């Protein structure tokens, strides 16, 4: 293990961007009409998790209008079904280890630009914590449950 990331897991960050009414930003995956999720992405070589979180916020949400509230204490892991492993993983990982960041959105809805970088979402909305957990793919549901629990003081 290096930097606390378990062996065979790709270092990744997740963003719980909290907006008006303690609702959470979710994006609909491009070309996957039923796949809504919070932003997430890999930690690049030489990058700290907090640096990766800031970069992912700019790239996937298209804004920097947020304040860091807290990060998860531990890395949260999940396995990706084998049939869904991206080819560029080349068998190195069985899933992802994620540090999650709770962020308070300080901007306006108009500050969000899904096309600011390589577009990953084709739509977005604010969702309640319960909707978020129910709407994620079943194999990621334990991760979302853990994140909602850890950040419950921000979204309850």
Model confidence pLDDT, tens digit, residues 26-58: 999 998 878 899 999 999 999 999 999 999 999
User: Which H/E stretch holds residue 15?
Assistant: strand 9-18
pTM, full prediction: 0.93
**pLDDT of 1 strictly over 90:** no
**Domain 9-155 falls under CATH 3.90.79.10:** yes
User: For a pLDDT cut of 70, what percent of the chain falls above it?
Assistant: 98
Report the pLDDT averaged over residues 58-75: 97
**What gap in Å lies between CA 24 and CA 9, rounded to an integer?**
26
Please report, for the chain, the start and end positions of each structural domain, with discontinuous segments joined by +.
9-155
Q: How much is the pLDDT for 41?
A: 95
User: Which H/E stretch holds residue 135?
Assistant: helix 129-135
pLDDT tens per residue across span 97-125: 999 999 999 999 999 999 999 999 999 99
Q: How much is the pLDDT for 75?
A: 96
**pLDDT of 2 strictly over 70:** no
Q: How much is the pLDDT for 151?
A: 98
């Amino acid at each position: 293990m290096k930097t606390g990331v378990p062996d065979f897991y790709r270092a990744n960050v997740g963003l719980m961007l909290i907006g008006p009414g303690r609702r959470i930003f979710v994006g609909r995956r491009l070309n996957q009409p039923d796949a809504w999720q919070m932003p997430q992405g890999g930690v690049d070589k030489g990058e700290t998790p907090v640096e990766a979180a800031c970069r992912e916020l700019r790239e996937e949400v298209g804004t920097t209008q947020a304040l860091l509230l807290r990060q998860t204490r531990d890395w949260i892991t999940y396995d990706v079904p084998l049939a869904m492993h991206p080819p560029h993983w080349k068998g190195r990982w069985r899933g992802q280890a994620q540090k999650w960041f709770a962020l308070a959105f300080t901007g306006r809805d108009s500050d969000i630009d899904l096309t600011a970088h390589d577009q990953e979402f084709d739509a977005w909305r604010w969702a309640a914590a319960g909707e978020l957990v129910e709407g994620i793919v079943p194999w990621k549901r334990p991760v979302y449950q853990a994140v909602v629990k850890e950040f419950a003081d921000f979204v309850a």
